Structure 1
Amino acid sequence: MFTPKLGGTFRERIRCATVRYRQLGNTGLRVSRLALGTMNWGHGTDSTEAAAQLATFHHAGGTLVDTSPEYQHGRSETMLGELLGTDVAREQLLIATTTGPHPSRAALLDSLHGSLRRMGIDHIDLWQLHGWDPSVPLEEALDTLDTAVTSGKVRYIGVSNHSGWQLATAAALQGTVPGRIPLACAQTEYSLLQRHPETEILPAARHHDLSLLAWAPLGRGVLTGKYRDETPADSRAADPELADYLEHHRTHRAGRIVHALSTAADGLGTSPAAVALAWIRDRPGVGAPVVGARTAEQLKSCLECEDVTLPPAIQAALDDVSAL
């Protein structure tokens, strides 16, 4: 098994900051309450760095790994598959991926088989319907998810990037039609910078006993504090292909939130990223924040959140400064 080179200070921290677990929605599936995102794998994160990330995450007790056929045209899934069985055993991970963008029965099944082939596995632990397409009957898409579960190729199902009413509609259909497989989770962007899910998506998820998987929990990198004074040359903001991904989060409001995070981090002896992740991790209804680190060193800093419990006064201050 690949073993990352860890300094003594972090090795001591990682023993304390072991990842904990929680139930995913109203299911029997227990997942690590921090998920490893792989969006950067294949773009900014090469195979050696990906191996270091996976080993670091596994060493800390992490189990839930999130990928997608949309990430680098499937390269992220391929890289993950190349590491399974050599760096970390397949049975020690819970692999979540999404469907392709078109939810017709044929396209969904092609997407499923493509993901299985790229990762070299016989089943996906969590398969999520990616987006809403009014040109395809919802019943057709959901029936295909059911087929994937009954075939044994998928264990649990969810949705990704659905609005509140879309999520509620899908969850209601699955929950009321006899024989349907209930949804386990919904994935959406959610952070101190992006609190809009609290208006509709999160209430709908909680009403239907779904967990929320929060992608971009660090505000696409802005909440780490790295952009307060400059744009680091090796950051996403300096990458022409990714700059637009986070530029709209670099606002005066973001500056106030980052300042509050830095103040809290100084008082707690940790990093702004760890504070931001602890805040989102403990929001009611959240199953796990999905951390898409670019390097293993960044991931190590994020894992420190499992050693952080925010005092009520700090939670209240962060709630207030980030309020919509």
Structure 2
Amino acid sequence: MQQRHLGRTGLRVSRLALGTMTWGRDTDEHEAREQLTAFVDAGGTLVDTAAGYADGDSERVLGRLLGEVVPRENLVLATKGGVSRRGGHRVVDVSRRTLLAELDGSLRRLGVDTVDLWQLHTWSPAVPLEETLSALDFAVSSGRARYVGISNYTGWQTAHAATYQQAWPGRATLASTQVEYSLLQRGIEREVLPAAEALGLGVLPWSPLGRGVLTGKYRAGTPADSRAASPHFERFVGVYLDKRSYRIVDAVCRAAEGLGLSPLEVALAWVRDRPGVTAPVVGARTAAQLRGSLTVDDIELPPEISAALDDVSAPPLGYPERR
């Protein structure tokens, strides 16, 4: 698998990342081992998890597999902090105290002394930004994290945080931003992508397959074993089961038929090669599903196909993005 630099840093990562959101909940340890093995065998290095995934079980499963499946030094290990679940409810807390406690918890669950990339899972106006960012500085200066990034920040939030970190020597410069990006969700093209490009952040798209909808599996209904049929993901997937999405999915499927590829390969290759993108984060419930994504490394879409997909999925842009 080809490698890319993460933003303007010297860190090189595989141009596909393995996402582990389902590990420890919908994906058991046996399937997780199969996924990690397949990913590493394909040349993948970047593995992404979070303290909030499955109440920390995603990190626990990954930690048990480190060293068993692949030497720790062969992976670029990424995790996130700031989001957790308490009493069945999603809780956002990006205070310095909570973030650093969560990072220490992540290190314990992963069984490592340091992670390669630690990311703020989301923005919160409840905490001063300078306090939140100070946790990133301490994580790097104390050796707990080698690089730091953000996730799910808007364009102005991305620019504000990155500029603040670059304004004074000694602060931990942001390496990346992890945001949703696919043919079904191109909202980051308005402000986030331009901000990331201007400030040197690599972009790690999550849900590059439109939460699974771009595989075409929902064209004839909702399969019983799909995410849309899962109580955890029914609403998560359902937002893209609308007329606009079906029109885009039909275009992807037609392109796939003409190229002799799967819809998954077409959709994933499109987002992987968008300007500014470092590595789409690909998650799967089973190893078999993941292997369908790993074939994309040898695929490049013809320019005319990419242009046609751009047209059918173009987000509405106006003032001030276009003048």
TM-score normalised by length of structure 2: 0.93
2:280 alignment partner, SS class:
strand
**Identity %, equivalent residues:** 60
2:179 alignment partner, SS class:
strand
1:202 alignment partner, SS class:
helix
Determine whether 1:213 maps to 2:195.
Answer: no
Structure 2 matches for 1:203-242, cutoff 5 A? 203-242=194-233
Q: Which runs of 5+ in 2 are unaligned?
A: 84-92, 316-323
Q: Which runs of 5+ in 1 are unaligned?
A: 1-18
Question: CA–CA distance in 2 between the matches of 1:169 and 1:44?
Answer: 36
Question: CA–CA distance in 2 between the matches of 1:230 and 1:134?
Answer: 40
1:297 alignment partner, SS class:
helix
Question: CA–CA distance in 1 between the matches of 2:248 and 2:95?
Answer: 41
1:194 alignment partner, SS class:
coil
Structure 2 matches for 1:27-46, cutoff 5 A? 27-46=9-28
**C-alpha deviation, 1:267, in angstroms:** 2.1
**C-alpha deviation, 1:135, in angstroms:** 2.0
Structure 2 matches for 1:119-158, cutoff 5 A? 119-158=110-149
Determine whether 1:247 maps to 2:238.
Answer: yes
Equivalent residue for 2:155?
164
Question: CA–CA distance in 1 between the matches of 2:294 and 2:259?
Answer: 15
Determine whether 1:290 maps to 2:307.
Answer: no
**C-alpha deviation, 1:291, in angstroms:** 0.4
Does structure 2 conserve the Cα–Cα contact (< 8 Å) formed by 1:67 and 1:97? yes
Cα RMSD of the aligned pairs, angstroms, is: 0.9
**C-alpha deviation, 1:179, in angstroms:** 1.5
**C-alpha deviation, 1:232, in angstroms:** 0.8
Does structure 2 conserve the Cα–Cα contact (< 8 Å) formed by 1:270 and 1:304? no
1:131 alignment partner, SS class:
coil
Equivalent residue for 1:115?
106
Alignment-mate amino acid for residue 67 of structure 1: T
Deviation track 1:81-112 (CA, whole Å, cap 9, x = no partner) reads 01011111111111111112311111111011
Question: CA–CA distance in 2 between the matches of 1:177 and 1:127?
Answer: 20
Runs of at least 4 residues off by over 4 Å:
none
1:287 alignment partner, SS class:
coil
Equivalent residue for 1:62?
44
Q: How many residues align?
A: 306
Question: CA–CA distance in 2 between the matches of 1:91 and 1:106?
Answer: 29
Question: CA–CA distance in 2 between the matches of 1:269 and 1:298?
Answer: 19
Deviation track 1:230-278 (CA, whole Å, cap 9, x = no partner) reads 2111111111221001101011111111111112212222211111110
Question: CA–CA distance in 2 between the matches of 1:234 and 1:211?
Answer: 34
Equivalent residue for 1:265?
256
**C-alpha deviation, 1:141, in angstroms:** 1.4
Does structure 2 conserve the Cα–Cα contact (< 8 Å) formed by 1:215 and 1:290? yes
TM-score normalised by length of structure 1: 0.93
For residue 301 of structure 1, the aligned residue among 292, 306, 309 is 292
